[in-house]
């Protein structure tokens, strides 16, 4: 059996009931096979693959807090410190009832390669809790965040592990967590990113993931002889990534006609009204039916938006899944291809199933995986860390310009890596190979640790 197959089998055996983690590992290992096969003896001798699929440390903890009725609630907290070969652990915290160890491990594993692709000094980590922020009062959110950090603070630090936002964790939650970290440690340091601007946050971090997604998508189209201006785009999600993806797409002259949340999805043939969407989702924290109620040209469809017959059935040139994992299935990929979609770029982490990815690639759709396409968020987090350690703040324009350069660079790195290994146009392989090689070199140089 080849070394790659042995490790894939080992991952499934040693990590039972972790399907999302298996999926993420399979995608990476299958596509770096060409690299491993060329140097199998050395990688095997150093157990490089066994080490890279095994987290350096996993912290699982109890998060008790008191709700507004005086009842004690208990959640499960997680932080997986996956790989620190190229920098301190870096990655977001997800607060969603679906969170479990498989999801946090898949996200942490992806983060290793994503962070490597940014070219910056950040290792891979991810965390979160099975806490549902929906419908909670501000006081309940604060109580949860304080309890979460009362345990996790021991493992964090500006040069150790630097969390940030993800699903369910935005500026409000980062503020409460940062405050509690400072209280527990007495340290005023850049230990979280996505902080508010008044206490060390970076301009353009809020916009960075969505903007970065569009910078990379525009470059991918350009290098394939196409222009983003004038294109019709389907976006899923209506959170941080989706909102700023829609904003930049509109600025670049494209028309975004869809978005979604966990209750349903919107088709707005005249193009999403971003001010209204922000009012509904960011300010009121309401559901998307409120968007349709305020905009007669928009249609609201309650229920599931993927898996056939939903949002991905709208005829578009470009699709940008920006909500959550496995939200674009084979049936959706078939609908996109049948409608002439030319490109898919992942704003979310692993939103496209393996079968759907393969179908899109086989049918000539340009496909950029999340670890490259959504790397603008964590890259700008690293810029926030730089500003914090230098005790200074850059202008919006400087951060945005640097982000643009980073995204264009990422695209060319993965394009070059794909070409070098005879996989021209396979951006999944290109991203995995380019991300892997840097981490593997650092791990090899640092010995068996
Ligand atoms: P937000 O919490 O701001 O928004 C998430 C959006 O997706 C919401 O509209 C939410 O619906 C919807 N959603 C979440 N989970 C589900 C689900 N299980 N089923 C249906 N809809 C769902 O998160 P972000 O925008 O920050 O994150 C979106 C994706 O992007 C995630 O995959 C995240 O890992 C990834 N990402 C985020 C980065 C960042 O900087 N924030 C960086 C890189 C990747 P509702 O409004 O009803 O809650
Ligand atoms: O998935 C991701 O890259 C994020 N949620 C952002 C991580 C970060 O540290 O900014």
Torsion of CA 418, 422, 423, 427, to 10 degrees: 10
- The pTM for the full model equals 0.98
Spacing, Cα 209 to ligand 1 middle (Å) = 11
Question: CB of 168 closer than 6 A to ligand 2?
Answer: no
Question: CB of 193 closer than 6 A to ligand 2?
Answer: yes
Residues 6+ apart with CB under 8 A from 30: 4, 8
Measured in whole angstroms, the distance separating CA 391 from the mean position of its chain's CA atoms is 27
Residues 6+ apart with CB under 8 A from 232: 254, 255, 257, 315, 316, 317, 318
Q: What is the mean pLDDT of residues 388-402?
A: 98
Q: What is the pLDDT of residues 253-267, one digit of tens each?
A: 999 999 999 999 999
Output DSSP code: residue 328: B
The whole-angstrom separation of Cα 46 and Cα 225 is 43
Instruction: Please report the pLDDT score of residue 330 as a whole number.
Output: 98
Pocket test for ligand 2, best of 109, 111, 350 (most atoms within 8 A of CB): 111
Q: What is the pLDDT of residues 341-364, one digit of tens each?
A: 999 999 999 999 999 999 999 999
Catalytic (active-site) positions: 126
Question: CB of 163 closer than 6 A to ligand 1?
Answer: no
Measured in whole angstroms, the distance separating CA 216 from the mean position of its chain's CA atoms is 14
The number of the ligand nearest the C-alpha atom of 306 reads 1
Instruction: Please report the pLDDT score of residue 236 as a whole number.
Output: 98
Q: What is the pLDDT of residues 159-212, one digit of tens each?
A: 999 999 999 999 999 999 999 999 999 999 999 999 999 999 999 999 999 999
Instruction: Please report the pLDDT score of residue 119 as a whole number.
Output: 98
The whole-angstrom separation of Cα 58 and Cα 79 is 6
Q: What is the pLDDT of residues 8-22, one digit of tens each?
A: 999 999 999 999 999
Instruction: Please report the pLDDT score of residue 347 as a whole number.
Output: 99
Instruction: Please report the pLDDT score of residue 445 as a whole number.
Output: 98
Which residue's structure tokens are 């049918």? 363
Measured in whole angstroms, the distance separating CA 423 from the mean position of its chain's CA atoms is 25
Instruction: Please report the pLDDT score of residue 433 as a whole number.
Output: 98
Confidence of residue 406 (pLDDT cuts 50, 70, 90): very high
What 3-state DSSP class applies to 345? strand
Residue nearest to atom 3 of ligand 2 (CA): 378
Give the number of C-alpha atoms closer than 13 A to the C-alpha of residue 14, restricted to the C-beta side: 11
CB 229 within 8 A of CB 293: no
Confidence of residue 288 (pLDDT cuts 50, 70, 90): very high
């Amino acid at each position: 059996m080849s070394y790659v197959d042995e490790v894939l089998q080992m991952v499934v055996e040693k990590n039972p009931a972790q399907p999302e983690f298996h999926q993420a590992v399979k995608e990476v290992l299958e596509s770096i096979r060409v690299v491993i096969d060329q140097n199998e003896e050395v990688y095997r001798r150093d157990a490089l693959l066994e080490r890279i699929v095994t987290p350096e440390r996993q912290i699982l903890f109890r998060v008790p807090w008191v709700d507004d009725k005086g009842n004690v609630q208990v959640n499960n907290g997680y932080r997986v410190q996956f790989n620190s070969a190229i920098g301190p652990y870096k990655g977001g915290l997800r607060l969603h009832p679906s969170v479990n160890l498989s999801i946090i491990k898949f996200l942490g594993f992806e983060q290793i390669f994503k962070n490597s692709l940014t070219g910056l000094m950040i290792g891979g980590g991810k965390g979160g809790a099975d806490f549902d922020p929906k419908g909670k009062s501000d006081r309940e959110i604060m109580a949860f965040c304080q309890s979460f950090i009362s345990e996790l603070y021991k493992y964090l630090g500006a040069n150790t592990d630097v969390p940030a936002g993800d699903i369910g964790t935005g500026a409000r939650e980062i503020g409460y967590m940062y405050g509690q970290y400072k209280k527990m440690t007495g340290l005023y340091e850049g230990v979280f990113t996505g902080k508010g601007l008044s206490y060390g946050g970076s301009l353009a971090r809020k916009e960075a993931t969505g903007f970065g997604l569009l910078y990379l998508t525009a470059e991918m189209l350009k290098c394939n002889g196409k222009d983003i201006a004038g294109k019709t785009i389907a976006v899923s999600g209506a959170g941080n990534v989706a909102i700023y993806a829609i904003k930049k797409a509109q600025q670049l002259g494209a028309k975004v006609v869809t978005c979604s949340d966990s209750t349903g999805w919107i088709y707005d043939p005249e193009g999403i009204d971003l001010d209204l969407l922000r009012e509904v989702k960011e300010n009121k924290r309401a559901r998307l039916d409120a968007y349709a109620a305020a905009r007669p040209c928009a249609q609201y469809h309650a229920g599931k938006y993927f898996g056939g017959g939903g949002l991905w059935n709208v005829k578009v040139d470009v699709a940008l899944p920006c909500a959550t994992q496995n939200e674009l299935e084979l049936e959706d990929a078939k609908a996109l291809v049948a409608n002439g979609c030319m490109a898919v770029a992942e704003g979310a982490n692993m939103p496209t199933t393996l079968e759907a990815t393969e179908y899109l690639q086989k049918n000539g759709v340009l496909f950029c995986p999340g670890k490259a396409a959504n790397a603008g968020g964590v890259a700008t987090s690293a810029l926030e860390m730089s500003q914090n350690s230098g005790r200074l703040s850059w202008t919006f324009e400087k951060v945005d310009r640097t982000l643009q350069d980073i995204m264009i660079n990422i695209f060319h790195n993965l394009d070059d890596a794909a070409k070098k290994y005879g996989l021209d146009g396979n951006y999944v392989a290109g991203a995995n190979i380019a991300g892997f090689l840097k981490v593997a070199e650092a791990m090899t140089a640092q010995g068996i640790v």
